[in-house]
């Protein structure tokens, strides 16, 4: 197997977090040679390319956390990036809708969190005011979040990589190279792929759904495992699109790490409804019956998975029922938009979200980035990582300066 020239930095993972890290690190150190290695033939072909394309405001995240800080900073930077490079996007705003009195304390808590996170322009609105933004929504109270938006994350990812490559002709993008092992050498590492061996002085792993496995290949002593959750979407038919203007979210269940089924107008003109959240038997499986023995074994022999299951039995059963029942899915959507009918929905796509699940079954961890020898590992970067990607890229770059002692080549 052929061996590459030695790069200063190799970044593994061509989703938007890897692309943003490549871009930010190359921008900071234009004379250093870098390579971005992605196993698929396309960038952003897993979590980035299968999410709902929302530019999140930062409304939900614990004040002071990496999620909160990076989401707010990353959102502002992402919007400017999209304006500068003409990436399809629209800062259209969203409404968070309470449909019964039991949700009002949680709505108030979300609003207070938004204020602490300095989310610009948010305000509480009445049920009547909700209709000024979304005429077909029925709710008793809500929050208007004007800085939430939509974006083509695939296009943003491609542009970040394009800009990084322009900064140094010695840097490279390698698609279709799956990393299967890492070997530590004296002062550098070998990254073994199915096609080539890459040598690099420093490594940054942004591997998403495979983050835990590659961390262990690199010698990280990691107790937790990544567990995948599939989210299924429906789309509104052409005749029903007028019922949703922009983005409509429920008040999330505070006991579960997902935001609930919501409505999203997308940059391609479609309007998505979803996602649900069900355990997936294949980390990169987007079909309801997709199965991988390795992925299933990894998840079901891990005690954290069972802790999560037993803590959320009724929630999990309901999610699975809804995954296979359009009628039940519709019933959930009708809580906010009662006029929707079965004929208004058509099957959409699916995505898989990676969560680094703790041994006690807790899924609410912050972004998690760790260091090991000459490597940095982005171990946990669920939503809002796409929104926060440029800020995460800057954060990783600063940590690389601190941890690796990176300096400009002379």
pLDDT for res 314 = 73
DSSP string, 290-353: ---HHHHHHHHTSHHHHHHHHHTHHHHHHHHHHHT-HHHHHHHHTTT-TT--GGGEEEEEEEEE
pLDDT for res 323 = 78
| Beta-strand relationship, 123-126 and 34-37 | unpaired
For the chain, the structural domain boundaries read 3-48+154-224+366-404, 94-146, 225-247+254-357
- For the chain (410 residues), the mean pLDDT of every run of 10, in chain order, is 89 98 98 98 96 94 96 98 98 98 95 97 98 98 98 98 98 98 96 96 97 97 93 96 97 75 95 91 93 96 93 78 87 96 96 92 88 96 96 97 83
Quick check: 315 and 253 in contact, CB under 8 A? yes
Rounded to whole angstroms, the Cα distance separating 143 from 124 reads 4
DSSP state for residue 91 in the 8-state scheme = -
pLDDT for res 255 = 66
Total-model pTM: 0.96
| CB atoms near residue 407 (< 10 Å) | 10
Rounded to whole angstroms, the Cα distance separating 29 from 170 reads 13
DSSP string, 228-279: EEEEEEEEE-GGGGGG-SSEEEEPPPTTSSS--SEEEE-TTS-EEEE---EE
Alpha-carbon torsion (265, 271, 274, 275), positive or negative: negative
pLDDT for res 159 = 98
Rounded to whole angstroms, the Cα distance separating 276 from 232 reads 6
DSSP state for residue 151 in the 8-state scheme = E
Q: Which fold has domain 3-48+154-224+366-404?
A: FAD/NAD(P)-binding domain (3.50.50)
pLDDT for res 313 = 77
What CATH number should be reported for the domain whose range is 225-247+254-357? 3.30.9
* Residue 54 burial by Cβ neighbours in a 10 Å radius (0-12, 13-18, 19+): buried
Domains 3-48+154-224+366-404 and 225-247+254-357 share a fold: no
pLDDT for res 315 = 74
Quick check: 195 and 37 in contact, CB under 8 A? no
């Amino acid at each position: 197997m052929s061996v590459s020239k030695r790069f200063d930095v190799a970044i593994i993972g061509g989703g938007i977090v890897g692309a943003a890290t490549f871009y930010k690190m190359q921008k900071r150190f234009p004379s250093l040679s870098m390579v971005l290695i992605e196993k698929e033939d396309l960038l952003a072909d897993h979590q980035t390319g299968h999410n709902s394309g929302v530019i999140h405001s930062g409304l939900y995240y614990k004040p002071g956390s990496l999620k909160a800080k990076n989401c707010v900073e990353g959102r502002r930077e992402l919007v400017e990036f999209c304006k500068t490079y003409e990436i399809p996007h629209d800062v259209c705003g969203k409404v968070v809708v309470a449909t019964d009195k039991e949700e009002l304390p949680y709505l108030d808590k979300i609003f207070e969190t938004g204020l602490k996170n300095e989310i610009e322009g948010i305000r509480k609105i009445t049920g009547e005011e909700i209709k000024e933004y979304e005429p077909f929504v029925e709710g008793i109270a809500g929050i208007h979040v004007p800085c939430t938006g939509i974006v083509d994350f695939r296009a943003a990812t491609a542009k970040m990589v394009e800009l990084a490559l322009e900064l140094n002709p010695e840097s490279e993008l390698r698609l279709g190279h799956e990393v299967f092992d890492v070997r530590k050498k004296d002062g550098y590492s070998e990254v073994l792929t199915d096609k080539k061996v890459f040598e690099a002085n420093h490594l940054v792993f942004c591997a998403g759904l495979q983050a835990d496995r590659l961390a262990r290949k690199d010698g990280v002593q990691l107790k937790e495992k990544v567990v995948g959750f599939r989210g299924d979407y429906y789309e509104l038919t052409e005749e029903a699109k007028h019922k949703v203007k922009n983005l409509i979210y429920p008040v999330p269940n505070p006991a579960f790490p997902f935001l609930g089924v919501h409505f999203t107008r997308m940059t391609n003109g479609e309007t998505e409804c979803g996602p649900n959240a069900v355990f997936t038997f294949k980390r990169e499986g987007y079909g309801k019956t997709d199965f991988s023995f390795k992925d299933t074994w990894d998840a079901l022999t891990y005690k954290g998975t069972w802790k999560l299951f037993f803590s959320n039995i009724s929630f999990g059963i309901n999610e699975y029922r809804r995954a296979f029942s359009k009628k039940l899915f519709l019933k959930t959507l009708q809580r906010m938009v009662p006029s929707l009918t079965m004929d208004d929905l058509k099957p959409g796509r699916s995505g898989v979200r990676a969560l680094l699940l703790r041994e006690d079954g807790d899924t609410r961890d912050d972004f998690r980035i760790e260091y090991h020898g000459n490597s940095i590992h982005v171990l946990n970067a669920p939503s809002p990582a796409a929104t926060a990607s440029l800020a995460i890229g800057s954060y990783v770059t600063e940590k690389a300066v601190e941890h690796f002692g990176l300096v400009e080549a002379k």
